[in-house]
Copies of this chain bind each other. A is one copy, B any other.
Amino acid sequence: MPAASSERIAARDPVTSARVLDGALTLFAERGYHGTALSEIAGALGVRTPSLYNHMRSKHDLLEAIIDATTAGVLEDFHAVRDAGGDPADVLFRAARVYAYRHATHRREALVVNRDTSSLDEPVRSSMQARRREHEHALRAVIAAGVEQGVFVVDSPALASFAIRELCVSIARWFSEDGPLTADQVADQYAGFALRIVGVQPTSTAS
């Protein structure tokens, strides 16, 4: 009767740096970086705290790794979408869609980035915030282009791009894989919201 391997589900697979990162991700997303102790991450992996140091350099490094990978991925997504071309409505739809999709499929990463980027220390924090700004400005440029062409109607492209970005970000705060809607469906709906915000009524609202 091997009773107590029930601490968390996968307690006795080999511990790797990937699994440490994943455990940190889950707990950082749940309780925040400062609210999570290494002992909790260790406990989730069925291991004592110092053993973590065989697979990571420091707690802070885990945070950096998570935020670095995630912000880089966001920009990558966006550039792929923009380079595929199309008119502003197409680009905005696809940019919002991929951003929304990411926040449904990578909830934990998104929560950590949005909550704990401010806990990075200095050279890194600024460069992560610069990535966020780059995405922000790029999206704003798409909206401004649409306004110039007369297909979008907004008073302030900056305001609209804030709204659309944060709209997508918020998906991470409620989405569940077990819910009634798939990530794809939610992403489609939210991309539709994005178009509505800039004054475009999408041709089809049916599912």
Known: A34-B34, A115-B32, A199-B196. A170 touches B163 (CB 8 A): yes
Are B201 and A199 in touch, CB under 8 angstroms?
A: yes
The size class of the interface chain A forms with chain B is 35 or more
Query: What is the oligomeric copy number?
Result: 2
Are B207 and A197 in touch, CB under 8 angstroms?
A: no
Interface residue from B119, B156, B193 paired with A163 (Cβ < 8 Å): B193
Are A118 and B30 in touch, CB under 8 angstroms?
A: yes
Known: A115-B115, A173-B166. A155 touches B32 (CB 8 A): no
Q: Give bound CA distance, A83 to B93, whole Å.
A: 37
Interface residue from B34, B166, B193 paired with A32 (Cβ < 8 Å): B34
Binding site for B on A (CB under 8 A): 30-35, 115-116, 118-119, 153-156, 159-160, 162-163, 166-167, 169-170, 173-174, 181, 186, 189-190, 193, 196-197, 199, 201, 205-207
The 8 closest A-B pairs by CB, nearest first: A166-B170, A34-B34, A34-B35, A196-B196, A193-B197, A163-B193, A167-B167, A196-B197
What are some 27 contacts across the A-B interface (CB < 8 A)? A30-B118, A31-B118, A32-B32, A32-B35, A32-B118, A32-B119, A33-B35, A34-B34, A35-B119, A115-B115, A155-B189, A155-B206, A156-B181, A159-B181, A159-B189, A160-B193, A162-B170, A162-B174, A163-B167, A166-B166, A166-B169, A166-B173, A167-B167, A167-B170, A169-B170, A199-B201, A199-B205
